[in-house]
Amino acid sequence: MKNLMRRAIPGLIAASLLLTACEGGSPGPGSLFGANTVTVSILYGSEKREWLEPLVAEYNAARHTTPDGATIVIEATPMGSIESVRAILEERMKPVVWSPASSVYIPVANAEWRKTRSGDLVVGKPNDLVLSPVVIAMWRAMAEALGWPQKPIGWADIAALATSDKGWAEYGYPEWGRFKFGHTHPDFSNSGIVSILAIAYAGAGKQRGLTQDDLARPELRAFMEQVERSIIHYGSSTGFFGERMFERGPSYLSAAVLYENLIVAQEKKRLAGQSAQLPVVAIYPKEGTFWTNNPYIVLNAPWVTEAQKSAAQAFEKFLLDRPQQLRAIELGFRPADPSIALGAPLDAQHGVDPAQPQTVLEVPAAQVIQATQQLWRQTKKPVDVAALIDVSGSMRGDKISSARASLTQFIDLLGDRDRLQVITFASQVIPLTPLSPLSDKRAELTRRVSGIIEGGNTTLYDAVIAAHQSMKENGDPNHIRAIVVLSDGMDTASRATLDDAIAAISDAGEEGGAAIKLFTIAFGDDADKEVLKQMAEATGGKQYDSTPDNINKIYAEIATFF
Amino acid sequence: MNRQRALVFGSIVGLAILIVVGVGAVRTLQLASGPPIELSILYSTEKEGWLNEIAPQFEAARPQIDGRPIRLKLKKMGSREMYLAVLDGAEKPDLISPASSLQASILEDMSAGKFGRPIVRANDPNLCRPTLSTPLVLVAWQERADVLWGGQAPDDLWKRLHNAVSDPRGWETLGRPEWGYVKFGHTDPLRSNSGLQTILLMTYDYFGKTGGLTSADILSNPGYQKWFLEIEQSISQFGDSTGNYMKDIVAYGPSMYDLVAVYESVAIEQAANAAGRYGELRVYYPPVTLMSDHPFCALSADWVTPEKARAARIFVDFLLSRPAQELALNKHGYRPVDPSIPLDRADGPFTRYAANGLRIDLPRQVETPPGSVLNTLLDFWSRNAQK
């Protein structure tokens, strides 16, 4: 049930975005183009957003038509590759085209589809749009400390470093602290899936033929648990993870599993003076890696019409045409069209080596991929989270009731091993429960949350400082530690100032990306968004704007970090 | 470019001559008046580039029979898809052109089983006319082939390949651990002719034969079955079409495949793209091989009227004309069936890519087994090796 919820709710976020795009109100693309249109909806992995978004706009502006004279309208929505296929399988979303980051998950998608329907969701071998290898992105200085580029580095080396108590001290750099590693959430993102497959291969000492028996071995389980301990947090998309790494620098994250194109894009920015960050390089793991091939899949689903199919194929042809493929190289992708030469910026100056990778890891069968996901859910880094709820007088009415309901759903998204504390604040800061495993108190907690009532002033800064202090004392530094703050108004009654609060929660120091994260939700129009943003960003967390209507979706998105 | 224009022009002239001289029944000067004769053709995907250029040239020359113009209705398909569509009646073509006579034999065998008489006759030169020729070859990254077998493909190529792909230590045993496990590939034999040719060559090699393969060889020899399946199980993904498989080895580089079994023609088509990309890609000829002869087979079916049968002959004559054959050679890498067209022209692909291992003289060919034996092999493969 929990896993189902975990998958279902974030999908709703994007589903509602897609619906908003299609429905009335402001004129959508459909109404602009008049009645005789054929709309092709596309769900695609976010790593190719920079390439695809302008091409969609360009294609729509040119008003291409089908042989029947209908104008083709492309509506493309970026979404984690695994998250999107879950939504398709559950028919919460019904796009014409699915373009995940890679083909790795297609066998799983087909196996799931066949459980309740005949035929495959993905038929044959779809065309690749653009290519990019999965790499370990690491700060150049750190890669050099490991012997890069002379010494080949592999998944097993990264795992050893991630699980070492000494961390960077082992390589003569104690000042860098522990090795801080990151990959995305395997229930949402393609790079999350391939990361856990690579970790499983490293644990099994194999490069192909991973089996369910391998995954059942206690040593492999222990290995995965250890590697996952070094993860700072998860995340719903690879593009986002890259941005986070390149914004916050080496103290936040030592290395992350990303795609080669994201490194090229970052290095281009840095070389152009648009990023003050240190150089970053791609490590091509010596045991082998996976490719992202961005397949363009016209779904074999009952909701796809013949007209949509042929319009989708017309857009595919446009994407594979030479000018669009050349543009992909500029953004750091390798072209799918073999008649286009590999050249700058795919070079050492931009942190990558087009002669790599030398080998790949074998993509396992569907049931082995699913078993790896299952093992990960059991071994993932646990979470210590405090939910801090503003219950001041201004929360009266809709606000307090939707806050209660969404918090209950948030509790459902967490696993039994996760620990949760609920704290309310108004004139006073009141912990409703201590930080303890959910398994012992899920029902009790739900009951307490439903009894939350509003009244009093807002002591936001005091509450944040208190919650942070409590998490520092009671949280386990080996867990992902986070505070989720929901507030609907200005601080009116704290003794502390904003500066005091920021000083208390900043992630400066050795912990870096493993420090306690603050996620803030500005609830309604009166919330002090700027203050919440400053506090969230000081910790490496994120600020969200929300209303009583979509608050549950915001909580769900925050849960992808865990 | 100029050469290409010359070819196009040449082929139009060629067609005019053909129509005026070669086909007496056709009155070329009379304007078409009757309803068109539509010629429905199913063909294997590798020929798409060639036929897309030829078809407009054919129609532009206004071929007709008794004042009725001939129109082409071309549809590309995988070989298996093609004969399944014919067998279940989903398609009623007048001509089919699988990649090789092997495939025509399979349809002959299956249709005899289903209808009591064959719908095609693979070995009747009047009904199934080969139009192009290309051998099955191995394409490998030269650096890696050098480690596997040195400069030329050895006589025990398949045995070495078997040992390399089934070795759990992979390239490490051969001193190159950084290359991982040995990655060989071929297309899905149920969907693509080159895949069927590959598993047939491997099977012949195991039995040390070049002819006389029987269903009993395949079904009752556990040693063969083990050996064969060890190779097949090492292949992570069987390609859907030979052209796409060849594109993949060029686009992804050596990380994805060390070597693949494909047609010489697709290797030639991609040779310029491969140059300077990920190191040298080279063609290796197995000790014995199979040719793909791209037959155009007229169907023995009640919907093929005498006019359609005549139109089919006119179209196939056009495909066999010198300009059409030269286009196939120079642009698409096929060997012409017209023996008077030289392969060793200085600007031809066999000269241009000689350094990539291309050669004009061919290895010996194995015998094409009867359709029933091919079906036994395919059936064994689909039960035991299909992913």
d(CA A135, CA B62): 57
Q: Which of residues 297-316 of B touch A (CB under 8 A)?
A: none
In this predicted model, what pLDDT tens digit does every residue of A5-53 receive, in sequence order? Answer: 444 444 444 444 443 333 333 334 444 555 699 999 999 998 999 999 9
d(CA B100, CA A492): 83
d(CA B274, CA A123): 29
Task: Please name each of the domains of chain B with its CATH number.
Answer: 36-130+295-333 (3.40.190.10), 134-292+361-384 (3.40.190.10)
Interface mutation target, options A110, A157, A358, chain B, most CBs of B under 10 Å = A358
Closest CA to A144 of A278, A13, A339: A278
Closest CB to B240: pick one of A124, A357, A362: A124
End-to-end CA distance of chain A: 17
Which residue of B lies nearest to A360 if distances are taken between CA atoms? B255
| Cβ within 8 Å, pair B251-A288 | no
* Distance between B163 CA and the closest CA of chain A, angstroms: 16
A63 in B contact zone (CB under 8 Å) = no
Whether the pLDDT of residue B18 is over 50: the answer is no
Which residue of B lies nearest to A123 if distances are taken between CA atoms? B240
- State chain B's mean pLDDT as an integer: 90
Residues of chain A with C-beta less than 8 angstroms from the C-beta of B170: 207
End-to-end CA distance of chain B: 44
Query: What pLDDT does A230 receive?
Result: 87
Closest CB to A338: pick one of B236, B239, B250: B250
A128 in B contact zone (CB under 8 Å) = yes
A16 or A62: whose pLDDT is higher? A62
Closest CA to B70 of B99, B46, B37, B48: B37
Query: What pLDDT does B83 receive?
Result: 86
Whether the pLDDT of residue A538 is over 60: the answer is yes
In this predicted model, what pLDDT tens digit does every residue of A259-270 receive, in sequence order? Answer: 999 999 999 999
Residues of chain A with C-beta less than 8 angstroms from the C-beta of B240: 124-125
Interface mutation target, options A150, A210, A359, chain B, most CBs of B under 10 Å = A359
Query: What pLDDT does B53 receive?
Result: 96
Read off the pLDDT of each residue in B89-113 and give the average, rounded to a whole number.
93
* Distance between B378 CA and the closest CA of chain A, angstroms: 19
**Of B15-29, B121-135, B300-314, B321-335, minimum mean pLDDT range:** B15-29
B270 in A contact zone (CB under 8 Å) = yes
What are the structure tokens assigned to A317, written together?
A: 């042809």
Closest CA to A370 of A82, A45, A78, A5: A82
Residues of chain B with C-beta less than 8 angstroms from the C-beta of A133: 255
| Cβ within 8 Å, pair B180-A365 | no
Closest CA to A47 of A263, A320, A316, A304: A263
Closest CB to B180: pick one of A131, A291, A360: A360
Query: What pLDDT does B32 receive?
Result: 53
Whether the pLDDT of residue A300 is over 80: the answer is yes
Closest CB to B180: pick one of A288, A336, A338: A288
B224 in A contact zone (CB under 8 Å) = no
In this predicted model, what pLDDT tens digit does every residue of A80-89 receive, in sequence order? Answer: 999 999 999 9
Whether the pLDDT of residue A395 is over 60: the answer is yes
* Distance between B78 CA and the closest CA of chain A, angstroms: 11
Backbone angles phi, psi at B315, to 5 degrees: -65, -45
Contact B120, B127 (CB under 8 A): yes
- State chain A's mean pLDDT as an integer: 90
Closest CB to B255: pick one of A208, A337, A359: A359
* Distance between A94 CA and the closest CA of chain B, angstroms: 27
Count the Cβ atoms, other than its own, within 10 Å of residue A172.
Answer: 9
* Distance between A316 CA and the closest CA of chain B, angstroms: 16
Closest CB to A362: pick one of B236, B250, B252: B236
Which residue of A lies nearest to B176 if distances are taken between CA atoms? A358
A23 or A255: whose pLDDT is higher? A255
Interface mutation target, options B234, B252, B256, B260, chain A, most CBs of A under 10 Å = B252
Chains A & B: contacts with CB separation below 8 Å: 66
Residue A134's beta-bridge partner residues?
A: A259
A2 falls in which pLDDT band (50, 70, 90)?
very low
B275 in A contact zone (CB under 8 Å) = no
B271 in A contact zone (CB under 8 Å) = no
Query: What pLDDT does A68 receive?
Result: 87
Query: What pLDDT does A131 receive?
Result: 98
Residue with tokens 């017209």: B338
Backbone angles phi, psi at B8, to 5 degrees: -60, -50
* Distance between A338 CA and the closest CA of chain B, angstroms: 5
Q: What is the value of pTM for the model shown?
A: 0.87
Distance of CA A419 to the CA centre of its chain: 22
Interface mutation target, options A103, A125, A339, A361, chain B, most CBs of B under 10 Å = A125
Read off the pLDDT of each residue in B336-342 and give the average, rounded to a whole number.
94
3-class DSSP state for residue A40? strand
A54 falls in which pLDDT band (50, 70, 90)?
very high
Which of A17-26, A507-516, B44-53 is most confident? B44-53
Closest CA to A95 of A21, A28, A34: A21
d(CA A399, CA A393): 11
Whether the pLDDT of residue B19 is over 50: the answer is no
Closest CA to A369 of A27, A46, A86, A105: A105
Contact B125, B328 (CB under 8 A): no
Whether the pLDDT of residue B33 is over 50: the answer is yes
Closest CB to A359: pick one of B180, B250, B273: B180
In this predicted model, what pLDDT tens digit does every residue of A189-207 receive, in sequence order? Answer: 999 999 999 999 999 999 9
Interface mutation target, options B181, B191, B241, B273, chain A, most CBs of A under 10 Å = B181
B252 in A contact zone (CB under 8 Å) = yes
A186 in B contact zone (CB under 8 Å) = no
Residues of chain A with C-beta less than 8 angstroms from the C-beta of B254: 358
d(CA A428, CA A493): 9
B263 in A contact zone (CB under 8 Å) = no
d(CA A71, CA A90): 30
**Of A15-24, A213-222, A426-435, B123-132, minimum mean pLDDT range:** A15-24
| Cβ within 8 Å, pair B255-A133 | yes
Q: Which of residues 26-45 of B touch A (CB under 8 A)?
A: none
| Cβ within 8 Å, pair A358-B278 | no
Q: Which of residues 153-182 of B touch A (CB under 8 A)?
A: 168, 170-171, 178-181
Contact B287, B153 (CB under 8 A): yes
In this predicted model, what pLDDT tens digit does every residue of A94-132 receive, in sequence order? Answer: 999 999 999 999 999 999 999 999 999 999 889 999 999
Residues of chain A with C-beta less than 8 angstroms from the C-beta of B256: 291, 360
| Cβ within 8 Å, pair B256-A128 | no
A338 in B contact zone (CB under 8 Å) = yes
Which ipTM was obtained for this model?
Answer: 0.85
* Distance between B259 CA and the closest CA of chain A, angstroms: 13
